[in-house]
Amino acid sequence: MILSTTAPSARRETQAFIDQPHQLLIDGQWIPAASGKTFDVFNPADGSKLASVAEGEKADVDKAVAAARRAFDSGPWPAMTPSQRGKLIWKLADLMDRHIEEFAEIESLDNGKPKAVAAAADVPLAIDLFRYMAGWATKIEGTTIPISVPYLDGAEFHSYTLREPVGVVGQIIPWNFPLLMAAWKLGPALATGCTVVLKVAEETPLSALRLGHLIQEAGFPPGVVNIVTGFGETAGAALSAHPDVDKIAFTGSTEVGKLIVKGAGETNLKKVTLELGGKSPNIILPDADLPAAIAGAANAIFFNHGQCCCAGSRLFVHRSQFDQVVDGVATEAAKIKLGPGMHPDTTMGPMVSKIQQDRVCGYLDAGAHEGARAVIGGKRPESEGYFVEPTVLIDTKSSMKVIQEEIFGPVVAAVPFDDVDQLVQAANNSVYGLAAAVWTKDISAGHRLAKRIKAGTVWVNCYNVFDASLPFGGYKQSGWGREMGYEAINLYTQTKAVTLQLK
Ligand code: ADP
């Protein structure tokens, strides 16, 4: 079932980067952690040590925030024109273009995902995001507003709004799309003129550190982007509770999202945007193009090993087609080749970490204990790597953990439905509301369901379609605010109303 765990090595330049000591990027300099501490990151395909990285903590976060504050308040960054900012962001995208293979290899070794997927999806999407946001730098506009002021008879005014950068932004990102999440966060912050302290996930710090070198090469002034590697409970918590941070943008678990809100509330009421968990319903209506829907359902859950906040983890199928669809998705699962991301034949790599592998297997055990049945998969294969078999569960109940909680692994629960009202009720029966999909040939039915599902994204006859221009984010406990598109620009700016009396 598992391809050999030996895989081609990375190119020489990739390996040289991985092997170097990895430090913190603060105020334009690479420096060790104040404590001198480092931590190891591992290759999830075989559990071997991959690299050693500086362990930033509160003292380092304080230094990084001070650098970001200086860069925001004075120096070349606030003096730059929008066009100059846009050009720098575009230049960064051009530099990334020259390193697609290297980024894909780093991502594959650090996160476990197939290199080909990283080269086709993660890296180009990150580059495209920067180019999209580079364009916004020159298009952030206020409005002129005719005002009446009824209590000042005869007076005349000229009122307009300015959209100004929010300030120093702390950005905390997860490990599932390390480079792409860095781009989603950095792009709008840089386009609007904010400065950043980026706290990358402790499991997968390497691609953002490589990006840090390109940020320097592109010529961003010191302190505009600071990168701190370290753990959530120390570096992440220090950043989210920091009194001189104006906004926190976080992507990760709902549990940590709540801690971040608490940290903001207990300090300076900094602005908070959150992109959190999901338990997305993927709905196949009876008239759907079944082969397309089955392939789509497999992609919805197995893409990125199910480690997607928008993974289609609850598959709703009309009872008349339930067995056929379950067989079809199980057949797709059986074709998946588990192996190291660097192996050219691998179609699914390992979970990112032993902890994540144990977490997913814990859900599989809980499902089995509560009476769910795996028609395929259901366990971890024998391996040094952190693999989990692609799994299709049936015989679930709405109260089960595997239906209610986010598993963040290659595990889909298929659930039959009889009528659309019951389906909508079941699909919306979740604390989450990140994404959903509907498969149907009836365009009106697709639109009607899109309206009734409580989620920030609804795909019809497709899944996992992302674009830098499309807002992405959650209803309910899936988050606050949106990533990408103009909505992201809005969330990195604040409105100032200016009024002049003319008469
Ligand atoms: P996961 O459990 O899947 O690793 P998390 O939500 O814990 O997801 O992690 C996402 C990001 O949040 C990581 O960068 C992690 O270091 C950070 N993080 C974890 N705990 C905290 C915390 N208490 N405060 C701030 N950031 C945190």
Among 275, 332, 389, 406, which one carries the catalytic annotation?
275
CA–CA gap between residue 298 and residue 447 (Å, rounded): 23
Here the tokens at position 281 are 């319903």
Domain for residue 253, yes or no? yes
Q: What rounded mean pLDDT belongs to the chain?
A: 97
201 and 287 inside one domain: no
C-alpha 338: how far from chain center: 23
What kind and span of H or E run contains 473?
A: none
pLDDT classification of 241: cutoffs 50, 70, 90: very high
DSSP assignment letter at 305 = G
Separation of CA 101 and ligand 1 centre (Å): 28
Provide the number of structural domains found in the chain.
2
CA–CA gap between residue 128 and residue 132 (Å, rounded): 6
pLDDT tens profile 68-85: 999 999 989 999 999 999
The answer to whether 194 is a known catalytic residue is: no
pLDDT value for 1? 57
Domain for residue 392, yes or no? yes
Write the CATH number for 373: 3.40.309.10
368 and 489 inside one domain: no
Contact 365, 358 (CB under 8 A): no
CB 409 near ligand 1, within 6 Å: no
CA–CA gap between residue 400 and residue 253 (Å, rounded): 20
Mean predicted confidence (pLDDT) in 300-314: 98
422 and 435 inside one domain: yes
460 and 484 inside one domain: no
Q: Return the number of other C-beta atoms located less than 10 Å from residue 166's C-beta.
A: 19
pLDDT value for 421? 97
pLDDT classification of 472: cutoffs 50, 70, 90: very high
Domain for residue 432, yes or no? yes
202 and 313 inside one domain: no
User: Which residues are within 8 A (CB) of 265 and not within 5 positions of it... i.e. 6 or more apart?
Assistant: none
pLDDT value for 7? 86
Question: Is 287's pLDDT higher than 80?
Answer: yes
pLDDT classification of 5: cutoffs 50, 70, 90: low
C-alpha 403: how far from chain center: 22
Nearest of 251, 208, 166 to residue 484 by alpha carbon: 251
pLDDT tens profile 424-462: 999 999 999 999 999 999 999 999 999 999 999 999 999
pLDDT value for 6? 75
Handedness of CA 486, 488, 493, 497 (dihedral sign): positive
Mean predicted confidence (pLDDT) in 375-402: 96
Domain for residue 192, yes or no? yes
Say what the alpha-carbon torsion angle 431, 435, 441, 443 is, to the nearest 10 degrees.
90
pLDDT tens profile 8-23: 999 999 999 999 999 9
239 and 364 inside one domain: no
91 and 219 inside one domain: yes
Per the document, the length of the chain is 503
pLDDT tens profile 186-212: 999 999 999 999 999 999 999 999 999
Q: What residue's CA is closest to ligand 1, atom 19?
A: 232
CB 402 near ligand 1, within 6 Å: no
pLDDT tens profile 320-342: 999 999 999 999 999 999 999 99
**Residues 473, 475, 477: CA angle, nearest 5 degrees:** 100
Nearest of 317, 367, 105 to residue 210 by alpha carbon: 105
Question: Is 87's pLDDT higher than 80?
Answer: yes
Question: Is 291's pLDDT higher than 60?
Answer: yes
C-alpha 463: how far from chain center: 16
Here the tokens at position 479 are 């988050």
Percent of the chain topping pLDDT 90: 98
CB 483 near ligand 1, within 6 Å: no
Separation of CA 253 and ligand 1 centre (Å): 7
Separation of CA 163 and ligand 1 centre (Å): 31
What kind and span of H or E run contains 281?
A: strand 281-284
Percent of the chain topping pLDDT 70: 99
DSSP letters spanning 68-119: HHHHHHSSHHHHS-HHHHHHHHHHHHHHHHTTHHHHHHHHHHHH---HHHII
Of 200, 209, 256, best ligand 1 pocket probe by most atoms within 8 Å of the beta carbon: 256
CB 199 near ligand 1, within 6 Å: yes
252 and 299 inside one domain: no
The whole domain housing 236 covers 12-276+480-497
Nearest of 96, 271, 100, 240 to residue 173 by alpha carbon: 240
pLDDT value for 178? 98
Write the CATH number for 68: 3.40.605.10
Query: Which ligand 1 atom is at minimum distance from the Cα of 199?
Result: 14
Alpha helices (runs of H) in 219-276, residue ranges in sequence order: 237-240, 254-266
CA–CA gap between residue 143 and residue 161 (Å, rounded): 5
What Å distances lie between residue 416 and 413, 426, 440, CA to CA?
10, 10, 16
CA–CA gap between residue 220 and residue 19 (Å, rounded): 25
Here the tokens at position 113 are 């995902």
426 and 489 inside one domain: no
319 and 463 inside one domain: yes
Handedness of CA 239, 311, 255, 355 (dihedral sign): negative
CB 223 near ligand 1, within 6 Å: no
Question: Is 304's pLDDT higher than 60?
Answer: yes
